[in-house]
Structure 1
Amino acid sequence: MSKHQARYLLLAGGLLSSLITSAETLADTIFSEDFSSGDISGWNTSGTVDAYNNESIRLRGPSWAQLPVSTSGYSQIQISLSLAAGSLENGEFCYAEYSADAGTTWTTIQTVANGQDNGTVYSNNLSQSQMDNNPNLMVRFRGDGSTVGDYCYGQSVQVSGNGGAPTAPDLDAPSSVSFPHTEPGNSRDLVFQIGNAGTQTLQVSNVSQPASPFALLSQNCAQVSPGTQCQVELRFSPVAEGNFNDSIMIESDDPDEGQWLVSLSGNASQSGTVDNFDPLTGSGAVPRSQLTYSQLINATDPGTLLDFAAFALPADAAMPGNLFSGRLTLLGEAAGGAFDEHKDSFRYTGSQDTSRKHLPEFDFEYVQTGSHIFPLARGSIASSHPEWEYILSPGRVWQENGDNGYSRVALPFALQQKNANCVHNGVFSFLFKNDGAISKVAYQIASETCLYFQVDMWGRLDASYTALSFADANQQIAAYQAEVLGRLPTKPLSALAQDFPGTDVQAFSAPGGKDPQDMSLVGFVIDGIHYTGGCSTRQGTYPYCESLVVPSYSAAKSAFAGSVLMRLEQKYPGSFNRPISNHVTACDSNGNWSDVSFGNALDMATGNYALAGYMSDEGASHTNGLFLVEDHASKISYSCTQYSRKASPGTQWVYHTSDTYILGTAMNDYLQSLEGTGKDIHTDILLTEILQPLQVSPTSGYTRRTYDGVQQPFTGWGLIWLRDDIAKIGQFFAGSGQSLLDPTELNAALQRDPLDRGLEPLSQFKYNNGFWARDVSDNITDCNQPPWVPFMSGYGGITVLILPNNSLYYYFSDDDSFVWMDAAVEAHQIRSFCQ
């Protein structure tokens, strides 16, 4: 079986089964103890109690050990306790108990008696409403034996529940506040609210005063009644250029958020750029045991896989004392480094060394601005390497006291398979000085968005640094700073529970029981705030999530093919009805395309197919004629001639990426006939007219193209994005007010027109103008009309939901699972889908 045959058969099975199913979400662990540490110092005890053998807390004779465990902010609490016993007599017992009133009364969860006292561990759990949202909850092990020769062993305790329950009182405030750009000498005022989502009055004892150039002007928050808000007014008054950060502390009687920190940020400049961009305020006193100065300077072997924390910007990092501007060249890539394989569905590699196990040649230019560093080349960069191409992302630069005057750099990067869309993310790290001195470069890859090939790569390579000045450096720096400052404000997904009390965060972070380890990125966007998660790797959390690259796969059928055709329809009415054969010579030879329109191709309803079964044609081995060849002539010849006429155009949906490739070719020819031969649907329509006004990153300005003089955009796959790009592109569709796309076709694509639902590839699903949609009325039952959720979908586990409440939810995973109903239902609870 070929690579593409296998991968699309996997997609067919995975999409069909997992789009329709959803599993229960997982509870949060509030407290867990198995006594393996041998430390019981936090337990209050009475009688003879000690830690026993690093496996239990031991009670001898009449004794007890109890511990307070607040469940404030949590609901559906469950307490699980286990214990064992030894040498009990009749009428002597060991108990595992809980109290909901700080120890006044106790409820038994598990009892062990004489006859059960042979060391066997007995476990039980209990869930009662009085455990929920309770700051006075306690757990206890107790024995009532008569002598110290009677033993009770508390083996473990776990308290779990669903986060997001309102406390009483319950503070509701932002975690960060950003001031708009301000010129030095001027000031800007900003007001934010502190709310009380609880059922009792919130007492705010203090709102701290931040340091200059920030100031607290006023606040009226001494007492906040349930369901109301107070106001905090701040001022930003910079006298010099720079990026400024501070925070204020809100102190209150909220039982689980009694001290709430609000981060403040502001940017000040005259020219639009800042010399000291994003300053670091640490002392440089960074404790380091991995990737130390000595290891980077003197390394002679590839080292070992590390937790990605070794590559991260440390909390106490200082501003760099050196400035990188020039060319970084790695040496020995073809033979250096180590490789470990986790999954290889198509048997790319064996026990022998191959080029796929090593990095491509690396020789690229970077420019530093403040504590940031960015590549001058973005996108997937073609090279002579037979398997890999680099994608370069922005990174960070800082100073550590132990680096002997060198500055330390972390450069996020990715490897993308040539002529394919899989992305494998990694980080480079090295030391450098202004005079060109440079250490070894350590690198590590331990995650990917790729269903069929999953590997680790790591090593330490020799390198050279050539300092260079660039004529357009100021323009490049200004563009990069604008990119960073133009990103949507972010909060962690966990903040949803504070911003929207009662929200089940795991419905977003692990919908349907998805393993977070399989999710490269996950996010939810509402009210202009980007709630982010994901970035798990096999070696800890990826440290530069804002720079992590993900592939689009077939989400490009919506974001590229759908967007461009709806844009052409807005500019040139009738574009949807243009005949394919008028614009694609290869499709004009057999007569099967003369009555197929652009719109039919976008819907994958050309009437030309072999098998109408779900994904049957796409999973066949002959699709290698589209996916594996590298030139346009071969791809378009396959696409136009592979299938015979079986149905009238517009009547039968059959999944064909080849149809979208034909559409891209036709749209390119059509655009050139209208606007000139040099025009290109990606560069001049998608990028210039749609994406750039959204202030997306240069990374999203890339598309896979054929490796020939035609350089035809693939159109149906081959885009790459950063998380901010996903949020902005999704918001573009979610917002109903944008006017770039033809409104009739856009409303049809997003299921806003009940008279034009599109074709039905599966029960409860529609496909229209390049977008999937699902009727979710079985799960959301309180709307007068059936609610539909339109979405973009990509191979391996990529989902982007354009939710009908003007919010957005997405994940990029590689577990071949497409479950998202939990997230949709929870988003409806935050804000109704009902129209």
Structure 2
Amino acid sequence: MKGLISVALLTATFGCSSHAATLFSENFEDGTADGWTLVGNAQISGTQSIDDKSMRLKQTASATAGVDTGGHSAVVITMHLAATGLESGDNCYAEYSTDGGSSWTAMIQLTDGQDDATFYSATVTPTDADDNSNLRLRFRSTGDLLGDYCWGDNVTVTGTAGGVTPKPLLAVSGATHLGSVDLGDSAQSPLTLSNDGTADLTIGQLSGLVAPFSLASDACSGQTLAPGADCALSAQFSPNVSGYQSADLTIPSNDESSPLVLTLSGTGVEPGTVVDDFDPLSGSGAVNRTLLDYATLTAGSEALVATSGYALPAEAAHPSNRFEGRLELFDEATSGQFDEHKDSFRYTGTGDSTRKHLPEFDFEFVQTGSHLVPAQRGSIPASHPEWEYILEPGRVWDENGDNGYSRAVLPFTLHQKNANCQHNGLMSFLFKENGSVSKVSYQIASETCLYFQFDMWGLLDASYTPQAVAGAATLRADHQAEEVGRMPTKPISELANDHPGADPSQFGSVDETDPAYMTLFGFVIDGVNYVGGCQTRQGPHPYCDRITVPSYSTAKTVFAGAGLMRLEKLYAGVKNEVIANYVSDCASNGNWGDVRFEDNLDMGTGNYNLTGYMSDEGASHTNNLFLPEDHASKIAYSCNEYNRKAQPGTQWVYHTSDTYILGTAMDAYLKQQRGSTADLFDDLIVSDLFAPLGLSPAARVSRRTYDAKAQPFTGWGLTFLRDDVAKLVRFLSADNGTINGQAMFDSTLFEAAMQRDSSDRGLDPLTDYKYNNGFWAHEVKTKVGCSSDTWVPFMSGYGGISVLLLPNGTAYYYFSDNDTYLWSKAAAESNRIRAYCQ
């Protein structure tokens, strides 16, 4: 048989003591499921538990852990189990298996009538659990309704050292992939064979290697190793042709799993070929992996796991395989698991639907060093009825246990079609540059979305087609520049070290935003982005710098507001242009003949139904703006829904439709100035602002209508990374709207937007609030301890997004999704760090 490279831990102790030793103990109090394989809706919870945490199983699910009792006898297993909400036919189980999961024995079974959250316990001493590396423990639920829950807790396995039949156990350590080697040259990798068992290990004659692989040295063949002893050998790779090559080394022994077969591999390269070592990894590859291991990714089952399973480990080695080509997944529409947490609009029911599955995945990638780069970035339009992908660069590395494959992790986002909700996920797979690829594990366990929240996970078949990717060299160079050009980041806790007396807890304060709904936050001061948040329902996200967040109405500031201020800088007087002259739908009803561009930006068109705060915006008829996919429908609604009620520029009434009209008008104006191929977003926002600021490719894509017009939404539909947000706020706050010392905006509009012109504060949405040129502002005198009126301009986005542009040149931002918009503690703390009272 072909075995896996592993290092077994010898836990037996021989000699004077016969006391029981604890071989396994789990109470889930660390809040993780590390070491457990989860299938279905299984996760850590504090709702029912013996202490503070337990393993929660919902409907039909399982959680399985392996225990090695090698060298121990008198093994004792104890498990605890509770249930809630069971109906007839529903069951909760605590089980064990002594044959690696082929068969199971129930220790506890709970049914309807035993579902009052009482924890039951059972203790067993199965003799076949002694000296057993295949012992498995499992909590399992079989329910079919949303309210069926099982709760597993406090698991222990003990055993007495010794008193068992001695067995040898062969273990191997060392790298089996010998990397990229010049033709005509050689590379060697030392390997160690050790006896981690309790009896002598007899090793036979090693065999099987063929050119260009050989053994440079072999001190193991024919050797007998006492328990704890080891021997050394050295594998050699001497390529004479280019490309990936491999060969098997067979190691016979008296280990019960003999023979062990190791796959050695390497890549021959032409002399002088430059190996791409961007962001090199220096680990040995000796990773102790318990989640998403080689067996799981090649032949395992789907599971929602702790995010640590997708993280780059400390001992990761630089990748020995190179990916360039197309990755395609299969059976996306029918595979995978889905668990709903919130569905305000009743998108889904108990049956299957397209919202519960990934859209089709078939994309090109290139690799640079230890980074995997998608050929397409930003929101990618597709035919799926609900979802579109946003792909972000991932990481690639080697682990010794992956049998010559390299391991890749890819952050991705499901972006709600024609809307702005974003659900953040991770993918992981193994590959070789010859086209071999494992299954792809994926999961989504976080989002920035007020009304639709869920977990989604699965394990899909895949194909990797190595091929040249158009523009690969540019993709690699651009990605390297993006990585190098990021603003420096530090954990928010470091703020107290760099600014003595600062209280980091006032940023992302739990008193203002529930951490369970916080995607990310940051405080920007002196060119450093102090960051926090980044949690998922399965632990901290391992690639916080690659989490995408939606703009919602912050786009009204950085697209609509910045767009008109930039236009006014380039073409003085455009702010006073009349809407009806540029938007034919608005010209037809007579309500827009005296409404200026700036009136639309200020939410002061005079056309509305109700003046109550957000009354018009919250009405169901706004679906006629947000749901249609074509420009004709969106602009017809926007121009004709509201009647004239007030003189333009006098009454604030919030309408996203007004910003959509403004975007249409500004785009028409720009085409009039520059020709029909001009584009408001690409030419004015991206080329003039986002690109020179170094914003990511994700930020350089706007949601647009799904027709030939491709009208950018203007008032929503942008995507940001946290580095994008930090660079935008530095540009607006500390850099005062300049790039390389050059003012990018009309000074009159910008000064008014930043509340520096007391004669032009803007219109009044609420008491102590202003709205001017797409920017909100709040008077914070009493909140921060100032003696006179002090205005803080800010951006705001639907669901729980706030971005503060503080008067002292600092900035604070957070992206959350529980509909809270509090930030006075952060504003006050910024004032304590650097006073800004006016």
- Shorter chain as normaliser: what TM range? 0.5 to 0.7
- The answer for the alignment partner of 1:814 in structure 2 is 817
- The answer for the alignment partner of 1:83 in structure 2 is none
CA distance in 2 between counterparts of 1:513 and 1:681 reads 37
Query: Which of 717, 738, 759 is matched with 1:755 structurally?
Result: 759
- What's the CA shift for 1:541? 0.5
CA distance in 2 between counterparts of 1:814 and 1:369 reads 35
User: What amino acid is the match of 2:290?
Assistant: S
Equivalences for 1:554-593 in 2 at 5 Å? 554-593=553-592
CA distance in 1 between counterparts of 2:471 and 2:713 reads 31
Q: Secondary structure at the match of 1:352?
A: coil
- The answer for the alignment partner of 2:686 in structure 1 is 687
- The answer for the alignment partner of 1:626 in structure 2 is 625
CA gap of 1:366–1:728, structure 2 versus 1, over 3 A, is: same
1:830 corresponds to 2:833: yes
2:388–2:415 CA contact under 8 A, matched in 1: yes
Q: 1:479-525 CA deviation, whole Å, 9 max, x = no partner?
A: 11000000001100010011111211111022634222211110011
- What's the CA shift for 1:275? 2.8
Q: 1:593-627 CA deviation, whole Å, 9 max, x = no partner?
A: 00000000001100000001000001111111101
1:511–1:821 CA contact under 8 A, matched in 2: no
- The answer for the alignment partner of 1:736 in structure 2 is 736
- The answer for the alignment partner of 1:285 in structure 2 is 286
- The answer for the alignment partner of 1:275 in structure 2 is 276
1:333–1:359 CA contact under 8 A, matched in 2: yes
Structure 1 residue ranges, 4+ long, deviating more than 4 angstroms after superposition: none
CA distance in 2 between counterparts of 1:338 and 1:700 reads 30
User: What amino acid is the match of 1:797?
Assistant: G
CA distance in 2 between counterparts of 1:274 and 1:603 reads 55
- The answer for the alignment partner of 2:697 in structure 1 is 698
- What's the CA shift for 1:471? 4.5
Q: 1:500-557 CA deviation, whole Å, 9 max, x = no partner?
A: 1121111102263422221111001110011111111110011111110000000000
CA distance in 1 between counterparts of 2:275 and 2:495 reads 33
1:780 corresponds to 2:784: yes
Q: Secondary structure at the match of 1:653?
A: coil
CA gap of 1:819–1:511, structure 2 versus 1, over 3 A, is: farther
2:445–2:537 CA contact under 8 A, matched in 1: yes
- The answer for the alignment partner of 2:304 in structure 1 is 305
CA distance in 2 between counterparts of 1:677 and 1:274 reads 46
Q: 1:397-442 CA deviation, whole Å, 9 max, x = no partner?
A: 0011110110000000000111010000000000000111100000
User: What amino acid is the match of 1:826?
Assistant: E
2:421–2:449 CA contact under 8 A, matched in 1: yes
CA distance in 2 between counterparts of 1:579 and 1:434 reads 59
1:409–1:431 CA contact under 8 A, matched in 2: yes
Equivalences for 1:391-790 in 2 at 5 Å? 391-510=390-509, 512-734=511-733, 735-736=735-736, 738=738, 739-783=743-787, 785-790=788-793
CA distance in 2 between counterparts of 1:627 and 1:435 reads 46
Equivalences for 1:127-526 in 2 at 5 Å? 275-299=276-300, 301-302=301-302, 304-510=303-509, 512-526=511-525
- What's the CA shift for 1:723? 0.6
1:338–1:457 CA contact under 8 A, matched in 2: yes
- The answer for the alignment partner of 1:22 in structure 2 is none
Q: 1:274-313 CA deviation, whole Å, 9 max, x = no partner?
A: 93111111111110111010110112x32x2111010000
Q: TM-score, normalised by structure 1?
A: 0.67
User: What amino acid is the match of 2:417?
Assistant: K
CA distance in 1 between counterparts of 2:470 and 2:677 reads 28
CA distance in 1 between counterparts of 2:823 and 2:667 reads 35
CA distance in 2 between counterparts of 1:280 and 1:787 reads 49
User: What amino acid is the match of 1:545?
Assistant: C
CA distance in 2 between counterparts of 1:412 and 1:726 reads 19
CA distance in 2 between counterparts of 1:621 and 1:403 reads 54
- The answer for the alignment partner of 1:159 in structure 2 is none
Q: Secondary structure at the match of 1:348?
A: coil
User: What amino acid is the match of 2:757?
Assistant: D
Q: Secondary structure at the match of 2:404?
A: coil
- The answer for the alignment partner of 2:110 in structure 1 is none
- The answer for the alignment partner of 1:130 in structure 2 is none
1:396–1:411 CA contact under 8 A, matched in 2: yes
CA distance in 2 between counterparts of 1:722 and 1:328 reads 24
CA gap of 1:274–1:584, structure 2 versus 1, over 3 A, is: farther
2:365–2:469 CA contact under 8 A, matched in 1: no
CA distance in 2 between counterparts of 1:564 and 1:383 reads 28
- The answer for the alignment partner of 1:225 in structure 2 is none
CA distance in 2 between counterparts of 1:472 and 1:447 reads 33
User: What amino acid is the match of 2:293?
Assistant: T
Q: Secondary structure at the match of 1:523?
A: strand
Q: Secondary structure at the match of 1:779?
A: helix
2:364–2:469 CA contact under 8 A, matched in 1: no
2:737–2:745 CA contact under 8 A, matched in 1: no
CA distance in 1 between counterparts of 2:297 and 2:378 reads 28
CA distance in 2 between counterparts of 1:424 and 1:353 reads 19
Q: 1:676-725 CA deviation, whole Å, 9 max, x = no partner?
A: 11111100000000110001110000111000010000000000010100
User: What amino acid is the match of 1:793?
Assistant: S
Give aligned pairs, total: 565
User: What amino acid is the match of 1:776?
Assistant: V
- What's the CA shift for 1:470? 2.8
1:776–1:789 CA contact under 8 A, matched in 2: yes
CA distance in 1 between counterparts of 2:359 and 2:510 reads 37
CA distance in 1 between counterparts of 2:279 and 2:531 reads 21
Gaps spanning 5+ residues in structure 1: where?
1-33, 38-53, 56-272
The structure with higher relative contact order (CA 8 Å, sep 6+) is: 1
CA distance in 2 between counterparts of 1:291 and 1:383 reads 29
1:804 corresponds to 2:807: yes
CA distance in 1 between counterparts of 2:510 and 2:439 reads 42
Q: 1:21-65 CA deviation, whole Å, 9 max, x = no partner?
A: xxxxxxxxxxxxx9x99xxxxxxxxxxxxxxxx99xxxxxxxxxx
CA distance in 2 between counterparts of 1:422 and 1:489 reads 28
CA distance in 2 between counterparts of 1:771 and 1:539 reads 36
1:511–1:822 CA contact under 8 A, matched in 2: no
User: What amino acid is the match of 1:551?
Assistant: P
CA distance in 1 between counterparts of 2:524 and 2:766 reads 28
CA distance in 2 between counterparts of 1:807 and 1:515 reads 23
CA distance in 2 between counterparts of 1:342 and 1:377 reads 31
1:511–1:823 CA contact under 8 A, matched in 2: no
- What's the CA shift for 1:444? 0.5
User: What amino acid is the match of 1:482?
Assistant: A
- What's the CA shift for 1:782? 3.6
Q: Secondary structure at the match of 1:691?
A: helix
2:702–2:718 CA contact under 8 A, matched in 1: yes
- The answer for the alignment partner of 1:68 in structure 2 is none
- What's the CA shift for 1:832? 1.1
User: What amino acid is the match of 1:753?
Assistant: D
CA distance in 2 between counterparts of 1:379 and 1:476 reads 14
